[in-house]
A = this chain, B = another copy of it.
């Protein structure tokens, strides 16, 4: 018994937004900045991954962060110990960043002092993927507790990712999680996309992710 509903898919990218995203991309390119857009469910570990990545790569390049939140009322922020420029964007309840918000955030950042811009999206896998920000790379951060079928249930963000992080590998022995199934489901919607199994708690797997990211920066 399936109910076939009307197609109510949100329209992908309004042209004004697309133009703003292109402006952002041009500005970032002109300033020699590579921007990585991190997309994940709530609690998957985006913030920890940003903290780990920025700290790991800070001897090689100069990171900067744009961090979105639904509300100004956030708790402790793992990024506050980072020695890099951070702009927090309160989306005012809107469930995802848009190019306008990123444009305003870019105006607050010391762009000449940044090589790698990590953009933390609001925590959701259901935002329209077409909502481009002007980023160079999109990375989905999944985590073991979300289940090995995440890419089956939420295919869009996985289908449009340049890389997938599978975080919280430290929990592997405590969960029913089939790594092969996860990988197959991801590659079904995005064949060949690199998947990095990591733990932001133990640090496991973060070297490979860092190497890949540095390689990508050279290509951009």
Contact = CB atoms under 8 A, between A and B. Distances in A.
Interface of A: 1-10, 41-43, 69-76, 85-96, 98, 100-101, 104-105, 108, 122-127, 143-147, 149-150, 152-156, 168, 170-171, 174-175, 185
A5 B104 contact: yes
A152 B75 contact: yes
14 contacts: A1-B85, A1-B87, A2-B89, A4-B90, A8-B91, A8-B94, A9-B94, A41-B146, A42-B150, A74-B152, A95-B127, A123-B153, A145-B171, A171-B174
Given A73-B152, A94-B9, A43 B146 contact: yes
A43 B150 contact: yes
Given A41-B123, A94-B9, A125-B42, A88 B3 contact: yes
Nearest to A92: B7
A202 B168 CA distance: 21
Contact of A42 (B1, B108, B154): B154
